[in-house]
Amino acid sequence: MAQNFRRYIARNTGTSPAILFTADSYDTVIGIRCANVHASSTANVDVYINDGSNDYYLIKNAPIPAGGSLELVDGGAKFVVDTGDILKVVSSVASSIDTWVSVVDAIST
């Protein structure tokens, strides 16, 4: 069976949470990278999933130096999200974080 790979991106995320994607089935997140594109400030980043009621943090208040990046899902790690789960990112510094997410869509029915 063919796999449906998807990518979701958020550019220049700042102090208001950006929605990276909303799961429409059982999906597997296979990669998340956050890059600090700000010229001079370290940005503290939160990446979390909201299930409609609660926020579940994948990382909270993680410092990323200017010009640096943080790989949140690596080394073969992955996690499954369910229909309606929303993946979000927010930064402590305005217009500072680019995020790239790789997902395998609809892994089962």
- pLDDT for the residue numbered 106: 76
Instruction: Kindly state the DSSP code that residue 51 receives in the 8-state scheme.
Output: -
Tens digits of per-residue pLDDT, 48-96? 999 999 999 999 999 999 999 999 988 788 999 999 999 999 999 999 9
Q: Could you tell me the sign of the dihedral formed by the alpha carbons of 58, 64, 67, 69, in that order?
A: negative
- pLDDT for the residue numbered 15: 97
**Residue count of the chain:** 109
Tens digits of per-residue pLDDT, 12-57? 999 999 999 999 889 999 999 999 999 999 999 999 999 999 999 9
SS3 label, residue 101 = strand
Dist. CA 106–CA 13, nearest whole Å: 27
Query: Domain residues of the chain, as ranges?
Result: 4-108
Q: Which one of 3.30.70.141, 3.40.250.10, 2.60.120.340, 3.40.190.10 gives the CATH number of domain 4-108?
A: 2.60.120.340
DSSP count for the chain of H helices, then E strands: 0, 9
